[in-house]
Amino acid sequence: MQLRIGYIGLGLMGKPMARNLLKAGYPLIVHNRSRAAVDELVAEGAAEAGTPRAVAEHSDVIFTNLPDSPDVEQVVLGADGILEGASADSIYVDNSTIKPETARKIAVALEAKGIHALDAPVSGGDVGAIAGTLAIMVGGPKDAFDRALPVLQAIGKSIIYVGESGAGQVAKACNQIMVAAQMVAMGELLILAQRTGVDASLVIDAIQGGAAQCWTLDVKPPRLFAGNRQPGFKAHMMHKDLGIVLDTARTYGMPLPSASVHTQLFEAMLQLGMRDLDNSAVLAVYEALTGEELLEKAA
């Protein structure tokens, strides 16, 4: 029998991910705080539910994709939440980026009712969400992962089981250390190249073939040179994720000096009123510091 899928949280990432589950042929029921995304997916064949509990009551696998740890706790453990509606042996999959401790707390609460929890944060931005090529890093019971894998393959390309509950969120924290470093480094090099009078777009072409090659340089410069700083992945979410990184580091007594500096740069973005711009727009902090604005290039 085909698994019934529920998806809660239809934002910039969640909506295209839910759509890909629908395209893969899974019966889909959705819930979201705002109506527009729900109406869009219902028009494409999904059903809707008024509460997370109702989603869980009609799903074998229940996904969430929400902004932060308190949001996930409320939707799963709160009134009319997933815990109240899910049946024993169902699988809960959280695509949000939250604290590893929160993921473990939720897993324990669900397991007490026989519900299996997977923390499965994703990476790849809106481009990967739309294309179904996300990287998915998963923590939780291995048997639940094996059962959920065919469903995950509808939304992701690289799907790695990392370990027990919380391990997926640890992997995502590590991922965000690297993402922030790449975004900051790209901003620095673009502004430096332009300040010296060298064509920054040609610098990107030159260094992509060497050791500097990375996803960020492959994807982000064309958008920036076109004057497009829309998300993508919003700066305030990058800042939130870096907060999780630093909280996790403090928990384990580990200094992270570069991540701390990168967090300050994204904090500056928020202070400059750029919270909803793409995380690659961190180069705007360097523009503000230097007075050098990145020039747009003709297509």
CA angle at 145 for the pair 141 and 37, rounded to the nearest 5°: 120
Start-to-end C-alpha separation, the chain: 50
CA angle at 292 for the pair 288 and 295, rounded to the nearest 5°: 120
Q: How far apart are CA 246 and CA 100, in angstroms?
A: 12
Cβ atoms of 263 and 167 closer than 8 Å: no
Count of other CB atoms within 10 angstroms of residue 210:
7
Select which of 105, 172, 220, 240 is catalytic. 172
Cis peptide before 166 (omega within 30 of 0): no
Q: How far apart are CA 167 and CA 175, in angstroms?
A: 12
Beta strands in the chain (DSSP E): 5-8, 28-31, 47-48, 61-64, 91-94, 116-119, 122-123, 134-139, 156-163
Count of other CB atoms within 10 angstroms of residue 272:
15
The encoded tokens of residue 62 equal 């229940």
Q: How far apart are CA 85 and CA 73, in angstroms?
A: 15
Cβ atoms of 294 and 283 closer than 8 Å: yes
CA 67 to chain centre: 9
Cβ atoms of 269 and 281 closer than 8 Å: yes
Count of other CB atoms within 10 angstroms of residue 292:
15
Whether 172 is catalytic: yes
Residues serving a catalytic function are 172
